[in-house]
Amino acid sequence: MPEYAKALSKIFGTALDASFDGVVITDNNQPDNPIIYCNQAFCDITGYSMDEIVGHNCRFLQANDRNQKVRKTIAAAVKEGKSCQVDIRNYKKDGSLFWNELSISPVHDENGNITHFIGIQNDISRRKQAEHNLNLERENLEKRVNERTKELQEHEQFLKGIVETIRESLIVLDPELNIALVNRHFEKFFKVNSNELVDHKLTDVLEGSWDIPELINLLRNVLPEHNPFEDFEVVHDFPYIGNRRLMLNASQITVGETYQNWILLAMEDVTERYVIEKKKDDFIAIASHEMKTPITVVKGNLQLLERMLNKGETDGYQPRLKQATDSLENLSRLIANLLDTSMLTSGSTRRSSEVVSIAEIVNITLGEVSEVYSDHDFVLYGNSDLNVVGDRSQLSQVITNLLTNAAKYSKDTKQVILHIGRVGNFAKISVTDTGIGIAKENHKRIFDRFYRVSANDNNYFGAGIGLYISQQIISDHGGTIWVESEIGQGSVFSITIPLSL
Ligand code: ADP
């Protein structure tokens, strides 16, 4: 070897030994491509001495770990005389694993034949470990995020479930009063679809029916100062559902950064409750007012009779006694009806089920009523043999109510006709009077609880419950009750009850 070549080879040798990368050179012209050179760094990486390395094929570094895919990549590159770069698991002399980042390049002679392969290697175990740890960490994080997301989704479903189950209408507004959410009850109650509402201004939806100045003032100005706000009453005509009385509770909520000063509005429909309360008040007022009249009459007549007896007067006590007993009769009927009303509304009536002869109960009640209204002329037609199944005393009560009304509201004409007949599989009973009659617009309403035709209020004793009770009893027996009447022309009240066949 010429002198300069020797010097150059020494320089290269020193340079290679100074390198931190492990370098090996294999001889491609010898069988099994043995290592003919390795630098110091390669010895440091593998733990073998140069003598232990030179002469071996590089595969000794994989020990028994022979099934690595990358080995095929290396074999293919060597076979085709190409470069390649792989990360391969290698083992040091002490058996410990290290990850080798290996680059292989062929060396060609002037004829293009491969004479050697140069392998440059780096122990990248630390990087691999770090990558591995990073992957583990990422997988862990992903798992935790998934778990947390699932938890949040479940929580959201849970809260949604509560909101949807609530039997009150709920609406969530952003600070600008845009609708963010309504629950199913709201949709059902107002007969709207949430798509028509969400992202719209509260004041714009439902034909502007929520543009109620007091409410808007409450939400914008009062609520921030008095949070939460309870029992704000709104009486309003809403599209599709008409006039409603709503009780509103509002609260302003701030959750995190996203939900600053949002508004939760819960509304309860108190329309029916209000009507019932009002009816109850009316009931008490009417009952106490109506009781006063007969009690005063009884009391007055008894005092008068006492005075007459004290003076030894016997003339004229008959009409006084009759007036007192008539009034007591009125009072007891009123009390019976009042009691029936409260039992019917609380659903606690129990009716017996027996075969009842219509003729029998009509004759008995007719006898009783005609005794009270002795000035009246009661006529009975068609007393045929009809039986129904039901409650004898309830059915008698209905006929008594109809006969009493007929007599009561025909003070001047004094004629009452009772028809009994069969229509199909029903018994039909009609009570006809020639009294004051009832205007068409009241034909339905007189069957409502406490309803009285106002023009008659002061002239006729009553509490507006007799027909209500009669209707309840008849419908409970599977029948119907109705009126045909004209003002000043008298009235015909009819009932049908299924026959016991
Ligand atoms: P009341 O105790 O007031 O008579 P009802 O429920 O029996 O209560 O009747 C309700 C209303 O229907 C009465 O107040 C009266 O205005 C009207 N009414 C009932 N029956 C007759 C009738 N035969 N003729 C005219 N009006 C009647």
Residues facing residue 426 across a β-bridge: 423, 498
Extract the tokens encoding 104. 């292989």
pLDDT value for 92? 95
Q: Nearest residue CA, atom 19 of ligand 1?
A: 405
Burial of 328 (0-12, 13-18, 19+ CB in 10 A): middle
pLDDT tens readout for residues 98-141: 999 999 999 999 999 999 999 999 999 889 899 999 999 999 99
Burial of 330 (0-12, 13-18, 19+ CB in 10 A): buried
Angle at 28 between CA 23 and CA 29, to 5 degrees: 140
407-443: buried (b, 16+ CB within 10 Å) or exposed (e) per residue? bbbbeeeebbbbbbeeeeebbbbbbbbbbbbbeeebe
pLDDT value for 348? 52
pLDDT at 82 over 80: yes
Q: In whole angstroms, what is the distance from residue 123 CA to residue 129 CA?
A: 11
pLDDT tens readout for residues 169-179: 999 999 999 99
Residue type, 352: S
Residue range 128-269 in CATH 3.30.450.20: yes
SS3 state at 74:
helix
pLDDT tens readout for residues 57-67: 999 999 999 99
Give residue 499's pLDDT band: very low, low, confident or very high (50, 70, 90).
very high
pLDDT value for 222? 87
Which numbered atom of ligand 1 lies nearest the CA of 433? 23
pLDDT value for 445? 93
CB 35, CB 26: distance < 8 Å = yes
pLDDT at 305 over 80: yes
Q: Which CATH number fits domain 3-123: 3.30.450.20, 3.40.50.800, 3.90.45.10, 2.160.10.10?
A: 3.30.450.20
Query: Per CATH, which fold does 350-501 belong to?
Result: Heat Shock Protein 90 (3.30.565)
452 CA → ligand 1 middle, Å: 6
Ligand 1 lined by 438 (C-beta under 6 Å): yes
SS3 state at 309:
helix
Angle at 192 between CA 190 and CA 229, to 5 degrees: 45
**Residue 120 — φ and ψ, nearest 5°?**
-110, 130
pLDDT at 402 over 60: yes
Ligand 1 lined by 405 (C-beta under 6 Å): yes
CB 85, CB 67: distance < 8 Å = no
Q: Nearest residue CA, atom 20 of ligand 1?
A: 405
Rank 312-316, 324-328, 398-402, 480-484 by mean pLDDT and report only the highest.
Answer: 480-484
The single residue listed with the structure tokens 């007036």 is: 323
pLDDT value for 62? 93
With CA atoms as reference, report the closest residue to 87 among 73, 98, 102, 97: 102
319 CA → ligand 1 middle, Å: 26
138 CA → ligand 1 middle, Å: 84
Domain ranges of the chain: 3-123, 128-269, 291-349, 350-501
CB 150, CB 144: distance < 8 Å = no
Residues 6+ apart with CB under 8 A from 209: 236, 237, 238, 239
Residues 6+ apart with CB under 8 A from 211: 203, 204
pLDDT tens readout for residues 220-234: 998 888 888 889 998
pLDDT at 341 over 80: no
Give residue 342's pLDDT band: very low, low, confident or very high (50, 70, 90).
low
pLDDT at 441 over 90: yes
pLDDT at 347 over 70: no
Residues 6+ apart with CB under 8 A from 326: 372
pLDDT value for 21? 92
Walk across the sheet containing 35-38 and list its strands: 35-38, 22-27, 114-123, 97-108, 84-91
Kindly report which listed range (88-102, 224-238, 433-447, 484-498) carries the lowest average pLDDT score. Answer: 224-238
Kindly report which listed range (131-140, 141-150, 156-165, 401-410) carries the lowest average pLDDT score. Answer: 156-165
pLDDT at 343 over 70: no
Residues 6+ apart with CB under 8 A from 427: 358, 386, 388, 420, 421, 496, 497, 498, 499
pLDDT at 376 over 90: yes
pLDDT value for 137? 94
The preferred substitution site among 290, 335, 409, 433 for testing ligand 1, maximizing ligand atoms within 8 Å of CB, is 409
Ligand 1 lined by 491 (C-beta under 6 Å): yes
The preferred substitution site among 405, 430, 459 for testing ligand 1, maximizing ligand atoms within 8 Å of CB, is 405
Q: In whole angstroms, what is the distance from residue 108 CA to residue 110 CA?
A: 7
pLDDT value for 325? 87
Ligand 1 lined by 334 (C-beta under 6 Å): no
CB 53, CB 22: distance < 8 Å = no
CB 68, CB 90: distance < 8 Å = no
Q: What is the mean pLDDT of residues 425-433?
A: 96
Q: In whole angstroms, what is the distance from residue 343 CA to residue 349 CA?
A: 6
Integer-rounded Cα Rg, in Å, for the chain is 52
For residues 52 and 255, which has the higher predicted lDDT (pLDDT)? 52
313 CA → ligand 1 middle, Å: 39
Same CATH topology for 3-123 and 350-501? no
Ligand 1 lined by 479 (C-beta under 6 Å): no
Ligand 1 lined by 465 (C-beta under 6 Å): yes
**Residue 142 — φ and ψ, nearest 5°?**
-60, -40
Ligand 1 lined by 435 (C-beta under 6 Å): yes
